[in-house]
Structure 1
Amino acid sequence: MKNPPSIISRAKYDFIDSSTIEKIESYHSKPILESQKIPLQDPYTLNGQKLRLNFIRQQLKTNVDYLAGDKIFDDNESLKGNIENYIGMSQIPTGIIGPLVINGSNAQGIFYVPMATTEGTLLASYSRGAKACRESGAITVITLQEGLQRTPTFKFKNLIDLGKFVSWVLEHKETFATITRESSNYAILNDVGINIEGNILIIKFEYTSGDASGQNMTTICTDKICKYIVANCPVEPVFWTIEGNTSGDKKATSLTKRVRGRKITAEITLLKEVVQSVLKTTPQLLYRQWRINVSGAVKCGSIGTGMHPANAIAALFIACGQDVACTGEASTAITRIEIDDNGDLYCAITMPNIIVGTVGGGTSFPTQKECLQLIDCYGPGKSGKLAEIAIALCLTGEISIMAAMSAGQFTAAHQKFGR
């Protein structure tokens, strides 16, 4: 192998570059016109559905024939690689919320976000949160890190054998980077980490995966690297497996300081008058509710302090053809709320494990493709945008649910919309 690429360990650190700051500072959101608002009348009638479909077609210039039911999926051959023993499609109600105004490092502008759910009240709550945000300005969103891990695990007879193995592995990092490039058009090996537990060795291979969510891609690359290691290393392990269950794949973990997928942070300062007029509460009550929620999260051993980011992640993932099992890791969130010197409410959310893709997986199926196209997130070069839309959506939901609880509206809202 000649001239292997250097491993760049940028996935280990939070980072904001100057061009991102300039891009965000230069963005100016425009007032939302009446014609840009989603038609809300006739929420449960065929006429209301048609009004919203016509709004999407005319305002967003997007084709939604499969979502509307005008076309039926019949390309069974395209299912290869996605499902076995196919019998048909599960139909989940899908709606849109917005406009959601975002000023991000990848996503900028107004977005009408599709959400698939059977939970009443959900879209109403996120719509209210989005309204409170846009009447206060744009949600600022910045992607801080990217990385996706596989953690193969090796067992040895003793520590001496393990030590010889580790020394050899660390001398061949650049070879592993070359194997990665030869195995995938998108994956890049960014880091190799070592964790030793007696005669057990866990190697963390950390990659970026382009616009794919990347689980299969990183598995294939890691498998080829491990087979190269076992065939060439000076000490053969007693046993090895492709994944030791320490990567955090499809589960909530306590590893909130590192990244899985993308680590992103978002903020908005809600004007006190908007808190009162839209959210029907006060900054003081909402801040008090957040403090209670954080305390409660600590008491119950919750991973993160979010109230329900899993609702946004699951609904968006189902609509947009993502791996819904990744809701387990992707919904990990740290929230922050404080009252500033003007009496306005600063709200922020940081999510270290947003794992999404805009190519591959279920993204090309008809309704999923249409939903991705609604937010201009279908195809190469769009996964960063989708991830930033996801966290902005989560922030609106956190704001809305805490406002409802702080003002005593939570039960009444579910009685009205969820029964």
Structure 2
Amino acid sequence: MTLPENTQLNSALAPKRHSPTKKLVASGRLTSELVSKRWQVLDDEDVKDALLDSVTTEQMDVYKNNIEHFIGTVKVPVGVAGPLRINGTHANGDYFVPLATTEAALVASYHRGSKLITAAGGASAMLLSEGVTRSPGFAFSSLIEAGQFVAWIMTQFDQFKQLAENTTRFGRLNDINVNIEGNHVYLVFEYFTGDASGQNMVTIATNAIFDYILKTSPIEPNYAFLDANLSGDKKPNAHTLRNVRGKKVTAEVHLPPYLIEKYLHTSVEKMVQFGHMTTTGGLLSGSIGINAHYANALAAFYIACGQDAACVAESAVGMTRFEQTKEGGLCASVTLPNIMVGTVGGGTALPSQRACLELLGLYGSGQSRALAEVVAGLCLAGELSIVGAFCAGHFSRAHHKLARGK
């Protein structure tokens, strides 16, 4: 098929090879001189005043390990939900949970769900397992070579463990999972990462192993890459639904009918019916896992508390279930196998983010498992609140009232 000539369209879509009139100063360093030079290029004083305010200028140095090409900070409104009572294997108490979002009705919804859970005596929460993965891939000329390579790999665990743990004070290599696909071999290295979320930690550790493999393997791969997309890093995936990436937590609460009526203005029967219908809808849509809106809680919590917000893509995979108990109440549960949180490292030490973790009482070493259980309880609160809103016919009305100010 020959397309008609369109000079205007061709001109719009054709490559433009002239040099840009303005160029940014690119540097991983953060100095006031470099920031000033960037703003000279950007040349907008009103925008500069909004992003590079006096507090940001004063605190500028604290961001040096978290950002490149720094020009300022963005202020996201922070609300608080709670108290949320958690009766966990690591988290025990009433928590006020900071949530950073620009979505009206979100904090109000999680606050309502938190009050309901607390009124019922709290949510039981249990950390089931933890581990962060990285998955290099190796291509060979034949399946025979791939098999020989795997046979050698199986003799190297102790060496790999030593290499990995020489790169980190806190991480340790727990396991290696081998996957053969034709003449391709995928190795999934799983690590314990202590109180850090751990993505950078496992990347650096795996890179040390990867370099060793390329130098010493008796079977030389045709080509190889440090990550071959089997770990599920920052992507929704079915593999970790039955396993773990980060921290796997389950939480549940038992609610008598009168509390559902008082806080959600609906009934146990309707909540269960909604669960049945939306589970089928999720299956029809090809959803990985079944939940109403874990992503809302996770994104707002991750931003407030200095977590890697892109991990919401994988963390939002999980299962919500509603069941009517023999006594006529509601058993509501959530299972999240991909909670990627830390209480040290990353963005957790930045001023606002550290303040949010301190508000929870969960900043610093020894707190990451408790933080994961609180996150699971928060997601449970959100599931109850949003399902209650749909069942009571309040969902649209709440957004209309809170988002439009009417």
Deviates more, 1:220-229 or 1:73-82: 73-82
Q: What amino acid does structure 2 have at the position aligned with 1:240? A: A
Q: Deviations over 1:77-108 (max 9, x none)?
A: 33223111111111100010100000001110
Deviation of 1:75 after TM superposition, in Å, equals 2.9
CA distance 1:260–1:73, shift in 2 (3 Å): farther
Amino acid at match of 1:392: G
Which 4+ runs in 1 deviate beyond 4 A? Answer: 69-73
Residues 129-164 of structure 1, C-alpha deviations (whole Å, 9 max, x = no match): 111111111100000011111000001111222222
Q: For 1:328-362, what per-residue CA distance to the aligned partner results, in whole angstroms no more than 9, with x for missing partners?
A: 00111101111111111100000000011111111
- Radius of gyration: which is bigger? 2
| Mapped pair 1:352 → 2:330 | no
Q: Which amino acid aligns with 1:92?
A: V
Once the two structures are superposed, what CA deviation does each residue of 1:182-219 show, in whole Å capped at 9, x if it has no partner? Answer: 11111111111111111111001011100111111001
1:211–1:358 Cα contact (<8 Å) kept: yes
| Alignment equivalent of 2:154, drawn from 155, 170, 191 | 170
Q: Which residue is equivalent to 1:227?
A: 211
Return the alpha-carbon distance in structure 2 between the equivalents of residues 373 and 112 of structure 1. 10
Give the aligned partner of residue 47 of structure 1: none
The answer (yes or no) to whether the contact 1:73–1:366 under 8 Å persists in 2 is no
Q: Name the counterpart of 1:283.
A: 268
Aligned pair 1:88/2:62, yes or no? no
SS in 1 for 2:337: strand
| Structure-2 separation of matches of 1:371 and 1:341 | 40
1:135 paired residue among 112, 115, 119? 119
Distance in 2, matches of 1:418 and 1:303, equals: 30
- Please give the alpha-carbon distance, in whole angstroms, between the structure 1 residues aligned to 2:98 and 2:341: 15
Partner of 2:229: 245
Q: Deviations over 1:39-72 (max 9, x none)?
A: xxxxxxxxxxxxxxxxxxxxxxxxxxxxxx9965
**Contact preservation (8 Å) 1:100, 1:111:** yes
1:408 to 389, 393, 398: 393
> What is the CA–CA distance in structure 2 between the aligned matches of 1:382 and 1:122, rounded to whole Å?
26
Q: TM-score, normalised by structure 1?
A: 0.82
Aligned-pair RMSD on alpha carbons? 1.3
Q: How does 1:123-202 map to 2 (within 5 A)?
A: 123-202=107-186
Query: Which residue number in structure 2 is paired with residue 394 of structure 1?
Result: 379
Name 2:46's counterpart in structure 1.
Answer: none
Whole-angstrom CA distance in 2 between matches of 1:164 and 1:254 = 29
The residue that corresponds to 1:39 in the other structure is none
Shift of 1:120: 0.6
Residue in structure 2 matching 1:98, options 47, 59, 82: 82
Is contact 2:56-2:72 (8 Å) kept? Answer: no
The answer to whether the Cα contact below 8 Å between 2:170 and 2:193 also exists between their aligned partners in 1 is: yes
Percent identity (aligned): 43
> Unmatched 5+ residue regions in structure 2?
1-52
User: Normalised by the size of structure 2, how large is the TM-score?
Assistant: 0.85
Question: Any conservation in 2 of the 1:102–1:108 contact (CA below 8 Å)?
Answer: yes
Match in the other structure for 1:385? 370
Q: Which residue of 2 aligns with 1:361?
A: 346
> Take 1:142 and 1:288, find their aligned partners in 2: how far apart are those partners?
27
SS at match of 1:230: helix
Deviations 1:300-326 (A, max 9, x none): 011111010100000000000100000
Matched letter for residue 85 of structure 1: H
Which residue does the alignment assign to 2:244? 259
Alignment of 1:63-82 (within 5 A): 74-82=58-66
Q: Which runs of 5+ in 1 are unaligned?
A: 1-68
